[in-house]
Structure 1
Amino acid sequence: MHVFATPPLSISEAHLLNIVFTAGYVLPLYLTKYTRLSFSHSAVKAGDGRLKQPSDRWRDDPAVIRARLTSATISTLAACYITHSVVSSRWKGEESVSNAFCINLWDLTSLRLGLIVHWNEPLVYLVTPLLFLGPLYGHFLGSGLPFMSKWTFKEQVVGKVFSWTGFRNYVVGPISEELVWRSCIIAAYHLAGASNLLMIFLTPISFGAAHLHHGWETYNKFGRTRQALQRAIVMTLFQFTYTTLFGFHCAYLFLRSSSVFPPMIAHTFCNFMGVPQLQEELKWYPSHRRYIQAMYMGGIVAYICTMYSWTLADNSFFWFANQSKAW
């Protein structure tokens, strides 16, 4: 295990890197006309929303998605390179250690970023689906699970993934966001000697905050009225809460498994599932009300029972008893 004799970063420096990586991912989305959204001042209302005008640039427009995916990719690569630079520069300062070992610094960075696959520990990838037992049961009742009557490979896989919105939601989004907020940001705090609790419950706050800018789109799409502002505030607060809670989960998976791939897979899975629709499912399938409630509760219980025993990798780099002596 490659460790430093003393924490190579301070907590203040870790906070700074957190801010830099978060801002570096979000701010470029508003710096160019290609990535920036635009909304016409005169718009025709449709219900409680508004119709898209030819001059508008909305989030799901293919041209906007392509530009933003390029921006996210560049920001992610930059964050990974900065992390590598920090690790290598501080490691070279450990003369007594670096002289004793021939270290491949890219391998050392890969370890810090969690770019490791534990092929012999597949259970870590099942913890998130267990939490979603309730929603999965709802899909089962609607014959929407794979190979059921209302599921087709062409519609549910090709139609979703092989589109610009699907490529964003299920491929680039999960990969880039997990590399930035789990790999790079947690690496910074780990180098500063932060506790596991701090890394689990602090780092996802910036992940949730990175989604706050979606409120601007909601405010514009619903007409820039007082009601639109109220809707934007409610939806933004909900999204901030949901993404922060999800960030707790992914940070825990990352630290326990010492791999970024379990949170990546969990991220893609959750994007496929969407937000649980318990109330709607109770209305759609009233005769299965008790079973639906039981499956939702069962998913929570199963998650609690497996989140500890199924997630710890052998020789985990980040999760060990005497954390104060390893950075």
Structure 2
Amino acid sequence: APAPLLNSTSPRPRRRAPPLPGRKQRPRSARRGRSPGPCNSTAAKSVPPRKTSSPELMATPAGSHPASPPAIPGKAAVAACAAMAVSYVAVLYAPTLLLRLPPATSLRAFFHRRFVCAAVSSAASVLATAALLGVWSLSDSSKALAVFGIRSDHLLEAVVVPLLLTSLVYAGSFVARLWAMSSSCGTDDDGVGVSCTEKLARWMQTSLQDVMVWRNYVVAPFTEELVFRACMIPLLLCGGFKMYNIIFLSPIFFSLAHLNHLFELHQQGCNFMRSLLIVGVQLGYTVIFGWYAAFLFIRTGNLVSPIVAHILCNMMGLPVFSSQRTRGLTSLAFLAGSVSFFCLLFPATSPKLYNARLDGCSCWHGYCRWS
């Protein structure tokens, strides 16, 4: 017997309309509102590799797309980054609070302990990131290191170009320091005649023996960039966060790692309001530098770029805007350098300068869509 007809009040079965001719259907990840990142995108797998006559271009970590690590929840990525930031600071106090070691007898011994603690914390962050992202599944060690931005290709560009770009901000500082050096060159601190070369050699010898130089120019830049850029940014990328959100929000973890300075200044007998003002200025400076360092790491895909910028910023401090000795020359140099910096920011950090092959994507991690 034929099936009874549906009356007008009964619900009709819904049928999915066929796609319009010439219209591409979006993937499910895009329909759900999640951006196709390096960990959940299938575009790189579906697009066949380009044919090239030089097989060496295909062998670089940036050119070849390794197997994407598994996607992780965004909350898990944020929690992992927060745990790394807290552990980076907390482990500095482990020798006295956890291990019950006696206080250091000298400043050198104190910082030697902190150097070891920073190295242990950085290694733990790298291992945790590798476990969360499944880096161990990569067949080649160079591809696994490339996830953290540790690469040997395009090393000269990754060092020279960001260093020159960052130097533009300190154009006024360079003019003021060169002016002061030229006026004091030929005499030492006691007024005794000495050549500029000999004075520079003395300064270098003294700096190599200074533990604060090793802290500010070696240990801090390498360990902080390894944890707060090389570990956190890939985690946030695989958590589905947008590029701009990562650049502007990831320095929050970097600035939180400097809150211990408030406790240390208070222990040294500094007034609380004065300590709060000093730490506030430091936090503002670290946030701005964190934006720039994250931008460099994402654009170049090389960990060396934010490291050299970090070293230069630690050496120069805050930019010098003006100086009475130079009669306005410092202000003019600062203005010209700042304008040049912002004009060259995107061209000097173009991913094409630091990668052999992009596969239609302008980012080393297979995620970025910037041109």
> TM-score range with shorter-chain normalisation?
0.7 to 0.9
SS of aligned partner of 1:289: coil
Provide the TM-score with structure 2 as the length reference.
0.69
CA distance in 2, matches of 1:70, 1:144: 40
Q: Conserved in 2, the CA contact under 8 Å of 1:7 and 1:192?
A: no
Q: Which amino acid aligns with 2:90?
A: L
Alignment deviations for residues 24-57 of structure 1 (CA, whole Å, 9 cap, x no partner): 1101112222899xxxxxxxxxxxxxxxxxx986
Q: Conserved in 2, the CA contact under 8 Å of 1:35 and 1:67?
A: no
Match 1:78 to one of 107, 121, 124: 124
Q: Which amino acid aligns with 1:272?
A: M
Match 1:289 to one of 315, 327, 338: 327
Match 2:298 to one of 252, 255, 259: 255
Q: Which amino acid aligns with 2:310?
A: H
Q: How does 1:128-167 map to 2 (within 5 A)?
A: 128-143=166-181, 152-167=199-214
Describe the shift of the 1:35–1:235 C-alpha distance in structure 2 as closer, same or farther (beyond 3 A). Answer: farther
CA distance in 2, matches of 1:258, 1:76: 19
Match of 1:193 in 2: 240
Alignment deviations for residues 75-126 of structure 1 (CA, whole Å, 9 cap, x no partner): 111111111222226x85xxxxxxxxxx425333311110024235232331
Match 1:119 to one of 136, 155, 158: 155
Match of 2:276 in 1: 233
Q: Conserved in 2, the CA contact under 8 Å of 1:22 and 1:207?
A: yes
The number of residue pairs the alignment matches comes to: 285
Counterpart check, 1:204 vs 2:251? yes
C-alpha deviation, 1:5, in angstroms: 6.6
Match of 1:98 in 2: none
Match of 2:313 in 1: 270
Q: Conserved in 1, the CA contact under 8 Å of 2:92 and 2:117?
A: yes
Q: Conserved in 2, the CA contact under 8 Å of 1:29 and 1:35?
A: no
C-alpha deviation, 1:161, in angstroms: 3.7
C-alpha deviation, 1:144, in angstroms: 6.9
Q: Conserved in 1, the CA contact under 8 Å of 2:165 and 2:344?
A: yes
SS of aligned partner of 2:328: helix
CA distance in 2, matches of 1:80, 1:230: 37
Match 1:171 to one of 197, 205, 218: 218
CA distance in 1, matches of 2:216, 2:77: 28
Q: Conserved in 2, the CA contact under 8 Å of 1:195 and 1:323?
A: no
C-alpha deviation, 1:323, in angstroms: 3.2
Counterpart check, 1:68 vs 2:114? yes
C-alpha deviation, 1:21, in angstroms: 1.0
Provide the TM-score with structure 1 as the length reference.
0.78
SS of aligned partner of 2:348: coil
Q: Identity across aligned pairs (percent)?
A: 25
CA distance in 1, matches of 2:235, 2:253: 14
Counterpart check, 1:298 vs 2:336? yes
Counterpart check, 1:323 vs 2:367? yes
Q: Which amino acid aligns with 1:219?
A: H
Alignment deviations for residues 195-236 of structure 1 (CA, whole Å, 9 cap, x no partner): 11111111111111111110112122235xxxx001110001
Q: Which has the higher helix share?
A: 1
- Stretch of structure 1 that moved more, 78-87 or 241-250: 78-87
Query: What stretches of structure 1 of length at least 5 have no aligned partner?
Result: 37-54, 93-102
Q: CA RMSD in A?
A: 3.1
Describe the shift of the 1:75–1:290 C-alpha distance in structure 2 as closer, same or farther (beyond 3 A). Answer: same
C-alpha deviation, 1:129, in angstroms: 0.8
Q: Which amino acid aligns with 2:150?
A: L
Q: Which amino acid aligns with 2:314?
A: N
Q: Which amino acid aligns with 2:80?
A: L
Q: Which amino acid aligns with 2:75?
A: S
CA distance in 2, matches of 1:155, 1:35: 41
CA distance in 2, matches of 1:139, 1:324: 39
Describe the shift of the 1:83–1:114 C-alpha distance in structure 2 as closer, same or farther (beyond 3 A). Answer: same
Decide which structure has the larger Cα Rg and report it: 2
Query: What stretches of structure 2 of length at least 5 have no aligned partner?
Result: 1-63, 187-194
